[in-house]
């Protein structure tokens, strides 16, 4: 059997999906990036050695870095990867809501084609990392956050447009005596309101609506979305893997098969950042090495900053 590997390398978590020739998920891995995409991918490869991988696709914030190291057939942005993964399972989908570890996005679809999208990468308010920090503050496991929200009958109003203001408001409401259930439910509603007023502002959100990303596992946020939009919101069992799944499908569709060796996980990969002073651009260039051999570089805006192999 031939298998195809899709990797979504985010700032908080790294996801990997193995699909077969029928685009069926046969294995998956979800782990924390811990500030080192290279080490995260090495851990993934050590757990997937029994598959005959013939093509690899990468997406996410470190897609080019990992794509270069793995000699990937496909390197695609998150918008495309999420849309492809979603449409393969929900061909009639019209809206994708995605909230990840440090950013969020909305993708609008029309007849299986991306018609519009928006991303929020400037503020972490309402993202997974924000929710995790509030869970620690309230001394509640993040896995239980949604269950607490569902127990609330009178959600507390929380200002969640900014992480600093939200934390300050949360502490204030706790000090006033509001229950944890009401505070958490209020936080879930505030996150949804913040998302719709920023990422979804001016967008026509139509059903079927698919909710993805790590935050989609929080049933409190799912409920808040359904109440705000007054319609059902679909959460796939693999909603947290959809980017990796989509780029695995794209690797399969590419028909580009490249020789892949798992021994690559034993190689000593490193990166080096340099600044070019050959013109007023002062480009910040990233060089990727396998031991001391230069694999690739990027970041230059003109030929002056080209780092040759």
The answer to whether the CB of 48 falls within 8 A of the CB of 5 is yes
Q: Compute the half-sphere exposure of residue 231: CA atoms within 13 Å on the CB side of its CA.
A: 11
Structure-token match 């979804």, residue found: 200
Q: Tokens in use for 271?
A: 């990166």
The C-alpha atoms of residue 254 and residue 242 are separated, in whole angstroms, by 18
Q: What is the DSSP annotation of 189-243?
A: HHHHHHHHHHTTTT----SSEEEESGGGG-HHHHHHHHHHHTS-EE--TTGGGHH
pLDDT digits (tens, 9 = 90+) for 158-169: 876 666 777 788
Kindly give the confidence (pLDDT) of every residue in the chain, 309 residues in length, as a single tens digit, with 9 standing for 90 and above.
Answer: 899 999 999 888 999 999 999 999 999 999 998 888 999 999 999 888 889 999 999 999 899 999 999 999 999 999 999 999 999 999 999 999 999 877 889 999 999 999 999 988 666 666 777 788 888 888 888 888 888 889 888 888 887 666 677 778 878 888 888 888 998 898 888 888 888 988 888 999 999 999 999 889 999 999 999 999 999 999 999 999 999 999 999 999 999 998 777 878 788 888 889 899 989 889 999 898 888 888 888 888 888 888 876
27 and 241 Cβ atoms separated by less than 8 Å: no
Q: Do 136 and 221 belong to one domain?
A: yes
Residue 125: predicted pLDDT: 63
Considering the domain architecture, whether residues 99 and 146 belong to the same structural domain is answered as yes
287 part of a folded domain: yes
Same domain? 111 vs 144: yes
Relative orientation angle of helices 128-137 and 163-176, to the nearest 10 degrees: 30
The verdict on 30 and 138 lying in the same domain is no
Encoded tokens for 228: 């705000």
Question: Three-state SS for 24?
Answer: coil
Selection from 103, 100, 167, 162 nearest residue 135 by Cα: 167
DSSP 59-93: EETTHHHHHHHHT-SEE--HHHHHHHHHHHH-TT-
Q: Are 225 and 132 found together in one domain?
A: yes
Is residue 38 located within the same domain as residue 130?
A: no
Round to whole Å and give the CA distance between 194 and 180: 21
Q: How far is CA 38 from the centre of its chain?
A: 17
State whether 257 and 284 are in the same domain: no
């Amino acid at each position: 059997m031939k298998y195809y590997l899709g990797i979504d390398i985010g700032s908080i978590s790294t996801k990997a999906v193995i699909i077969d020739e029928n685009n069926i998920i046969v294995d998956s891995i979800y782990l924390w990036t811990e500030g080192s995409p290279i080490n995260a991918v090495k851990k993934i490869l050590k757990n997937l050695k029994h598959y005959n991988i013939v093509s690899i696709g990468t997406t996410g914030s470190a897609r080019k870095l990992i794509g270069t190291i793995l000699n990937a057939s496909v390197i695609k942005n998150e918008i495309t990867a999420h849309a492809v993964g979603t449409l393969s399972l929900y061909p009639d989908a019209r809206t994708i809501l995605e909230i990840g570890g440090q950013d969020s996005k909305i993708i609008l679809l029309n007849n299986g084609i991306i018609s519009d999208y928006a991303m929020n990468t400037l503020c972490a308010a309402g993202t997974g990392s924000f929710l995790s920090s509030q869970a620690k503050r309230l001394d509640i496991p993040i896995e239980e956050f949604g269950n607490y929200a569902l127990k609330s009958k009178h959600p507390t109003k929380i200002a969640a447009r900014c992480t600093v203001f939200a934390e300050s408001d949360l502490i204030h409401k706790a000090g006033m005596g509001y229950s944890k259930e009401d505070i958490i439910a209020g936080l879930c509603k505030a996150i949804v309101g913040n998302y719709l007023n920023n990422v979804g502002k001016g967008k026509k959100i139509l059903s079927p609506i698919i909710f993805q990303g790590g935050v989609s596992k929080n049933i409190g946020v799912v409920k808040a979305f359904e109440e705000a939009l007054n319609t059902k919101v679909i959460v796939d069992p693999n909603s947290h893997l959809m980017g990796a799944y989509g780029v695995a499908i794209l690797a399969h569709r590419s028909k580009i098969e490249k020789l892949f060796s798992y021994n690559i996980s034993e190689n000593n990969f490193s990166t080096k950042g340099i600044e070019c002073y050959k013109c007023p651009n002062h480009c910040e260039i990233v060089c990727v090495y396998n031991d001391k051999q230069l694999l690739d570089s990027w970041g230059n805006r003109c030929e002056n900053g080209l780092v040759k192999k």
